[in-house]
């Protein structure tokens, strides 16, 4: 083994990898803020701009499209230049996006700020690139490490909705957006400077070994087929996940429970998601990714079905 490979191997599963994981968690929490506060301000934005619920949902739609498309480019950029470069840009995009949205005079500019700055440039840098980067620092506990990283997205969902709701009630949604832009944007820029170390080199398995053959055929499929099926599963999962997240605040308002109750439900939903992702990571390390995906899909389907017969306050909290 060469000296460079030995040095790289020393960093895998190391104390530095653990510290880096904490920074990653913080970055994911800051970068994911825009994905959840937009649901909180949706009733106020709808009322101020005098638009329908469908038009008021457009900013979230454009932001998630930007988030998905941007993730492809940011992931490729991170592979070439290191994850810290797109993270720095993501911090700038997040800060400018919140401030630009706060200055918008109509729903279309508000939606554009979310789609281009907060989605394409901002939040896209803190999911796919960070999940991929985290997987390269861990071997023995890779499942739980990736789960910790991905749970940052749900930490954001647990923290920001109640804070945003308090801001909307206290100073209005525009001032709340400015404060979020300054805090999250500057925080991401500073934390990106701690991510300049490139991932350690992974030992290449001996060609022909069982490990090599397994890595070449994930789930027993060709890489392209496995990637395609995971993309389909990801879209299906996120459609089912996003609908209650985006509309729960407005739904509670429509039912007469108030926006504050909806923000609490959103925060509770995503706080529970933190535990879910951590538990799923631990399960994945034991039974494998495919079985974990099947288990999670079944549970998600059951949860969604419960929204049909129940619309009481207590039952919605439980669901």
In this predicted structure, the answer to whether residue 299 has a pLDDT above a threshold of 60 is yes
- Give me the half-sphere count of Cα atoms (radius 13 Å) on the Cβ side of residue 253: 17
Mean pLDDT of all residues belonging to the chain: 86
Give the 3-state secondary structure of residue 52. Answer: coil
Q: What is the pLDDT of residue 284?
A: 83
Cβ–Cβ < 8 Å for 21, 134: yes
Cβ–Cβ < 8 Å for 69, 122: no
**Which range in 164-168, 202-206, 259-263, 307-311 is most confidently predicted, on average pLDDT?**
164-168
In this predicted structure, the answer to whether residue 106 has a pLDDT above a threshold of 90 is yes
Lowest pLDDT segment from 22-36, 37-51, 253-267: 253-267
Segment 205-228 mean pLDDT: 63
Q: What is the pLDDT of residue 226?
A: 83
In this predicted structure, the answer to whether residue 208 has a pLDDT above a threshold of 70 is no
Task: Tell me the pLDDT band of 7, cut-offs 50, 70 and 90.
Answer: low
Q: What is the pLDDT of residue 8?
A: 56
Find the length of the chain: 319
Domains of the chain: 3-200+221-318 (1.20.1250.20)
* Helices of type H across the chain: 3-11, 15-31, 34-49, 53-56, 58-81, 84-102, 107-112, 128-135, 142-171, 173-192, 210-216, 223-254, 259-287, 289-305, 313-318
Cα distance between residue 94 and residue 185, in whole Å = 5
In this predicted structure, the answer to whether residue 215 has a pLDDT above a threshold of 70 is no
* pTM assigned to the model: 0.78
Segment 297-313 mean pLDDT: 88
In this predicted structure, the answer to whether residue 217 has a pLDDT above a threshold of 80 is no
């Amino acid at each position: 083994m060469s000296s460079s490979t030995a040095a790289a191997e020393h960093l895998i599963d190391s104390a530095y990898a653990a510290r880096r994981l904490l920074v990653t968690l913080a970055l994911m929490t800051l970068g994911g803020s825009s994905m959840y506060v937009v649901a909180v301000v949706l009733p106020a934005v709808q009322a101020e701009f005098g638009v329908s619920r469908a038009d008021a949902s457009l900013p979230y739609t454009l932001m998630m499209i930007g988030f998905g498309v941007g993730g492809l480019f940011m992931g490729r950029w991170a592979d070439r230049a290191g994850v810290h470069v797109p993270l720095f840009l993501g911090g700038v995009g997040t800060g400018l996006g919140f401030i630009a949205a706060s200055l918008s005079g109509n729903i279309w500019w508000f939606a554009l700020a979310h789609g281009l700055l907060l989605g394409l440039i901002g939040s896209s840098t803190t999911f796919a690139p960070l999940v991929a980067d985290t997987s390269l620092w861990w071997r023995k506990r890779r499942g739980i490490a990736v789960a910790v990283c991905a749970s940052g997205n749900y930490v954001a969902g647990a923290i920001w909705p109640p804070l945003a709701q308090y801001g909307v009630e206290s100073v209005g949604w525009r001032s709340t957006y400015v404060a979020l832009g300054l805090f999250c944007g500057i925080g991401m820029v500073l934390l990106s400077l701690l991510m300049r170390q490139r991932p350690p080199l992974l030992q290449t398995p001996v060609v022909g070994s069982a490990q090599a053959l397994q890595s070449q055929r994930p789930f027993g499929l060709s890489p392209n087929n496995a990637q395609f099926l995971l993309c389909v599963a990801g879209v299906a999962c996120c459609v089912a996940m996003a609908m209650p997240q985006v509309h729960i605040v407005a739904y509670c308002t429509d039912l007469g429970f108030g926006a504050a109750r909806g923000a609490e439900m959103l925060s509770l939903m995503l706080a529970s998601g933190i535990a879910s992702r951590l538990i799923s990571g631990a399960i994945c390390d034991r039974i494998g990714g495919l079985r974990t995906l099947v288990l999670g899909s079944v549970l998600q389907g059951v949860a969604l079905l419960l929204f049909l017969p129940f619309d009481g306050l207590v039952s919605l909290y439980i669901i």
